[in-house]
Chains A and B, each alone.
Chain A
């Protein structure tokens, strides 16, 4: 089936070349970082995780979001999702590939990465994260490929594959739960020390992941003649709206706990994110514009998507709403959540983090790699669909 990726219109090749260019830039930047060390980034002793880990966290959500297609289709037999479930599985593959690349980019000694397996440490959440992420990647590759092969041969998928399909559902939940546990079990990091982190992650994942699938469907409709079906899209948008509202509700709860309890430790990071935190006469507020953009984009996009006229009749507005929501939750989880956890430091000092150009180059390179993987997989899936239809 891979041969489907080798034939395409000029636009397809231009798109691949475009991604390839960023991948090359990312690779070159990584060589620089590998040779010098992580001092090439904007990270510091105080803000010891930066863009890499925050992108990783966000993308675990995008990967988990695929389950919002798998679950209705396989558990509730919601037939409308039949055509697009494979898109959810393949998006998950691309997202996990990005996650693993971001982890590798973030390691100080990447050549020792296998120590996580050679010296398994069940008390470390990172150990479980490695297991569930790789497990979820394997399950999606297996299920996606077997089901697509069956489709190509126009036979029913083998019965045994359903075991793995069903298994992938708890795995999807687990990848984001365990990722949340990386943060929410650390004493002394008040912003992360909240039992609501895992559900909040899942809520934003179930909005951002499907939002990206809607955008992909709209693009595929224009460039590849693939129609996901109005009904499927509409159902997907309903899921997105509820999940997005749930995330905003959880954010609000964090505010309540912080400000009503009035415990400084619970307020500091929120203050830093949304209003700026004053310390020794200096105002630290470099994330404030990002966070208000998140709030405005999130509520604006929810309102847009909730308007039947926009959602049902206008592809442009539908795409705009989903893009807005995807961006909003990227700002929330892919920027704010991880960075604010380091403010203030354990010694109540404030160090701000600004990524370097080299770090941005690697980050863009990894995103381009993920989009490349998703593009090639989608090309294959749609090639197969076109073949059996036409």
Chain B
């Protein structure tokens, strides 16, 4: 079963990459090769080469250059605090994330959440920015690192980096619950199911599995929605505001790259060499 599931996940990822899905995906990646509806395999392969600026001598290789990423504009979030709350709520609804009462806060499960700027960007000084920046609401989520320490640590490959799109994904059915990945993640992006989460899922979404106790979970960049041609739930919830932009970081024509080319962005703890795929505009 495990093998089949993983195969499915990979196919799901691949379909995102290859643009087999609905037009939304095509728009997300906004790459001519990927977008072409009748695109042949040969056309698909050109995209990563362009993205990486590599020689085209490896045209036979499957596309490896897609790296999904996100830009979060904290200015927009700050102007309109409802955006952030809406994104968090959308994620909770999409992924059957349990909501624990205050006395069980230590067992909290969170994929995307609100935190003060100084907590999210621990490497940035807020010394002279006391009032303004210090309590500036920022948002934390899995960075889908290009070189993820959690994947390195996992003893069963239950967490793995999908080579086809760069998503760091979880196989809930393989995870043994050793929590090595939680110690390894420098962003505190991972949660563990300390008990059966199901009684605390407020509204059950049948399109996404609930988890059992004893496994780790985290943001999956909505791989299941991407496979259907939908944007990630958080991104969709702030549609039209420019607060969150999602797409292929390696595609110079993607929307996310256009934002990155225009704005000055920062990443969380870049000195650790994890190469986060989530960027922030402050």
Q: Which residue numbers of A lie inside 8 Å of B, CB to CB?
A: 36-39, 41, 43-46, 48-49, 103, 106-110, 112-113, 115-116, 118-119, 121, 123-127, 130, 182-183, 186-189, 341-342, 345-349, 351
Contact = CB atoms under 8 A, between A and B. Distances in A.
B136 interface: no
Contacts of B194: 37-39, 41, 43-44
A107 to B, nearest CB: 5
Contact of B183 (A119, A186, A351): A186
Contacts of A345: 188
Interface of B: 104, 106-110, 115, 118-120, 122, 140, 149, 151-158, 174-180, 182-188, 191-196, 213-216, 269, 272-274
B176 A116 contact: yes
A126 B180 contact: yes
Contacts of B151: 123
B122 A36 contact: no
Contact of B185 (A125, A126, A182, A346): A346
Contact of A121 (B157, B191, B274): B157
A62 B151 CA distance: 30
A187 B188 contact: no
B155 A121 contact: yes
A49 B122 CA distance: 22
Contacts of A341: 183
A48 B107 contact: no
A48 B183 contact: yes
A346 B213 CA distance: 24
Contacts of B149: 186-188
Contacts of A36: 195, 213
Nearest to B147: A187
B106 A45 contact: yes
A203 to B, nearest CB: 23
A347 B188 contact: yes
Contacts of B184: 186-187
Contacts of A45: 106-110, 182, 188, 191-192
B269 A188 contact: yes
B213 A119 contact: no
A256 to B, nearest CB: 23
B80 to A, nearest CB: 23
A115 B182 contact: no
B155 A37 contact: no
A170 to B, nearest CB: 22
Contacts of B214: 37-38, 107-109
Given A48-B182, A341-B183, A125 B119 contact: no
A5 to B, nearest CB: 34
